[in-house]
Amino acid sequence: MRFTAVFAALPPAVLANISPANPFKRLARVLGYAALRLVGNVFRPIRNPDELREAVWLYVVSANNYEALEFIRQGRPDAVLVAGQAKNIGRYNALVNRLPLRCKLLYYWQFPLAFVGLLRTEGRRAWRFFDFIFYAIGYYEVYRRALRHYRPRAVVFSNDHNDDTRSLLLACRAEGVPTAYVQHASVSTYFPPLGFDLNLLEGQDALDKYRLCGPVHGRVELVGMPKADAYLSMKNIHPFISRVGLACNIHDPLPAIADVLVHLVRELPDLTFTLRPHPSDERDFESLRQLLPNLQWSSARSENVFNFLLRQDALVAADTSTHLEATLLNVASIYYRFGTNPLTKDYYGYAARGLVDQAENLRQLVDLLRGYARTKPGDLYQRAAYYNATLGTINEGHSQALTLAIFADWLNKHQSPT
């Protein structure tokens, strides 16, 4: 994914936070990684609270992953949450077991070979993102060592495209460890092909997109959205809107966000607006706080997305799976692009599929919100049936139980003697 045209075309401000454009700054970041994450791991002790041997591993790379898989830990006494040794899992850092990465240093002799090989196949993008190549080195080998040492019954993933995640998946294949995947957010056609032994997807949308990514490997089951179970009975039944949430991430330019909010507050003074930056968005919003002192705020680090949406009647956002979560709660959701990158327009296909309304400009956005301020339909959530397979069925609100049952049956059959 790092070598796709979509990634290369991200706004410079976005890329600067991930991989600096200046090659000397990239080199400085690589050296910092080597000192803190590689050498630092050698001297950092690991004291895991759980027994990892012959357990079901729930592998997480973010707080969102943790929240997507935590129900399996609660539902299975043999399940443990694991992450790489120094991986940042946000507020859950202390609750996750760690896989040792000390030996990653032993494999960096491969870096020149990998870099030259990728220069041949990817051209200048390999040079532009040589830091990503450096970070990825060694994960596969150390994870194979960890699998041989701990022999987990299975590894469950909720991310399928990070470098460490892909490395662990390939290591599991090499070591014969069964793998399962629980979708935690909407997917796009830029993702890698679906490659797990058991694939637990939310709905037909995800399966159709993965089929466009390449051949689908393994068993596929459509189980709905487990993380939404507790909230599907709390659908928004207000007949009109008065509270509007705006969700943004680092792909949305801050000046454009400010312009939109100023315009909406001026044109729709009777509505209350709340801004929710993505948890990874570390930009300074102080000037916006001063510009709009009556603007409400939601911290994604302390308030989960469903609790945020329960306080809203409508949502305005660009490319984020929050649109789907909003629609499931019957919150009127409007797709509005703050940025101009043509390659990311309607990235998840929500507007094209009719899941959400689309506003091409500020005038259309104001008109849509004014319309919902007069009346908001009570059946907006039905638009999400293509994305959530259990919606309107006897399993609505029971995706966790369904997922656990399918996983247990699959694991028992997979490991039963032949």
What is the tens place of the pLDDT at every residue in 224-266? 999 999 999 999 999 999 999 999 988 898 999 999 999 999 9
Please count the other Cβ atoms lying within 10 Å of the Cβ belonging to residue 152: 22
Give me the DSSP letters along 116-179: HHHHHHHTHHHHHTHHHHHHHTTHHHHHHHHHHHH--SEEEES-SSSHHHHHHHHHHHHHT--E
pLDDT tens, residue by residue, 13-66: 778 778 888 999 999 999 998 888 888 888 888 889 899 999 999 999 988 899
Question: At residue 418, does pLDDT exceed 50?
Answer: no
Please count the other Cβ atoms lying within 10 Å of the Cβ belonging to residue 109: 8
Identical fold, 5-227+398-415 and 231-386: yes
Please count the other Cβ atoms lying within 10 Å of the Cβ belonging to residue 56: 21
pLDDT confidence band for 90 (50 / 70 / 90): confident
| Per-domain residue ranges of the chain | 5-227+398-415, 231-386
Question: At residue 390, does pLDDT exceed 50?
Answer: yes
12 vs 29: CA distance, rounded Å: 17
Instruction: Judge whether 104 and 137 are in contact, CB under 8 Å.
Output: yes
**Bridge partners (DSSP) listed for residue 157:** 59, 181
What letter represents residue 193's amino acid? P
- The answer to whether the Cα torsion of 260, 261, 265, 266 is positive or negative is negative
Closest CA to 65 of 43, 36, 89: 89
Instruction: Judge whether 96 and 89 are in contact, CB under 8 Å.
Output: yes
Q: Give the pLDDT confidence score for residue 3 in this predicted structure.
A: 84
Q: What is the dihedral of CA 285, 288, 293, 295, to 10 degrees?
A: -80
pLDDT, greater one: 70 or 250? 70
Q: How far is CA 289 from the centre of its chain?
A: 27
Task: Give me the architecture of the 231-386 domain, per CATH.
Answer: 3-Layer(aba) Sandwich (3.40)
**Bridge partners (DSSP) listed for residue 75:** none
Question: At residue 340, does pLDDT exceed 90?
Answer: no
Question: At residue 96, does pLDDT exceed 50?
Answer: yes
Angle between helix 139-150 and helix 163-175 axes, rounded to 10 deg:
50
**Helix ranges, 176-273 (H):** 204-213, 254-267
Closest CA to 345 of 367, 360, 332: 360
Q: Give the pLDDT confidence score for residue 45 in this predicted structure.
A: 83
Mean pLDDT calculated for residue range 170-188: 94
Question: At residue 366, does pLDDT exceed 60?
Answer: yes
pLDDT confidence band for 416 (50 / 70 / 90): low
Closest CA to 206 of 229, 226, 189, 181: 189
Q: Could you tell me which residues come within 8 angstroms of residue 164 by beta carbon, excluding any fewer than 6 positions away?
A: 61, 84, 87, 136, 139, 143
Please count the other Cβ atoms lying within 10 Å of the Cβ belonging to residue 151: 14
Q: Give the pLDDT confidence score for residue 271 in this predicted structure.
A: 97
352 vs 369: CA distance, rounded Å: 20
pLDDT > 90 in the chain, percent: 77
Q: Give the pLDDT confidence score for residue 374 in this predicted structure.
A: 96
CATH tag for 5-227+398-415 (out of 3.40.50.300, 3.30.470.10, 1.10.760.10, 3.40.50.11720): 3.40.50.11720
pLDDT, greater one: 85 or 15? 85
pLDDT, greater one: 181 or 91? 181
Q: Give the pLDDT confidence score for residue 9 in this predicted structure.
A: 76
Q: Could you tell me which residues come within 8 angstroms of residue 74 by beta carbon, excluding any fewer than 6 positions away?
A: none
Mean pLDDT calculated for residue range 284-303: 92
Mean pLDDT of the chain, nearest integer: 92
pLDDT tens, residue by residue, 60-69: 998 889 999 9
418 vs 410: CA distance, rounded Å: 14
Question: At residue 375, does pLDDT exceed 60?
Answer: yes
Instruction: Judge whether 179 and 196 are in contact, CB under 8 Å.
Output: yes
pLDDT tens, residue by residue, 270-283: 999 999 998 878 88
Instruction: Judge whether 321 and 184 are in contact, CB under 8 Å.
Output: no
Closest CA to 58 of 80, 39, 74, 43: 80
How many secondary structure helices (H) and strands (E) does the chain include? Answer: 17, 13
Q: Give the pLDDT confidence score for residue 394 in this predicted structure.
A: 96
pLDDT, greater one: 377 or 190? 377
